Amino acid sequence: MLIAPSVLSSDFSQLGNEVKRMDLCGADWIHLDVMDGHFVPNLTFGAPVIKAVRKFTDKPFDVHLMIDEPLRYIPDFLDAGADIVTFHIEAKSDPEKTIAAIRTGGAKPAVSIKPGTPAETVFPYLDKLFMVLVMTVEPGFGGQSFMEDMMGKVRAVKARRPDILVQADGGIHRGTIGTAAQAGVDVCVAGTSVFKADDAKQAISDLKAAAERK
């Protein structure tokens, strides 16, 4: 199981140092949630902030675009240092063109689905994707409870294309990561359970151990 701490739960006044801290504590990827205040009812940061903190780690930047028009901004996020770019199938941009733009720019394309969106929506694009992100909470805010019934989507995607990576995001902690692992999740986004822990390194280690005990 790969762990991608979400900086949404970090101390924004120390963002560069928080990214570095996650690197030193054993994070596999760094998850960066971009919200535009339209697609989701929250506003976070954009490409300039990601570019500013890129120098604090060599770990892959896993950029989750919760924005209306991802295609329009793909060049900005590629320039900022995104290694993986995830956009929502529910967004306004054409999925084929968005995937192509991410690939052309040298990053890995991924698609996310909200809790109310069927897994089948992403099936036409699976052969072009690096990863599918199954939201296990409603996107927009951290600290929500894990929706176990979303694991059916994970199984459906894996059944259709067993080799694709599936990521789960929302409500991931020691008590839920085993359920995710058992369903076939490969990458878990963890926010509060890592950033707010007394010992982030131990928290990441505990998450991985709990995933292995599935």
Alpha carbons within 13 angstroms on the beta-carbon side of residue 23 total 15
pTM confidence score: 0.96
Q: Which residues are catalytic?
A: 33, 169
Using only C-alpha atoms, what is the Rg of the chain?
16
Dihedral sign computed on CA atoms, order 109, 112, 117, 118: positive
What pLDDT was estimated at residue 213?
Answer: 84
pLDDT digits (tens, 9 = 90+) for 126-141: 999 999 999 999 887 6
Specify the pLDDT at position 210.
96
Homologous superfamily of domain range 2-212: Aldolase class I (3.20.20.70)
Confirm if 158 and 164 have CB atoms less than 8 A apart.
yes
Report domain extents, the chain.
2-212
- pLDDT digit string (tens) for 48-59? 999 999 999 999
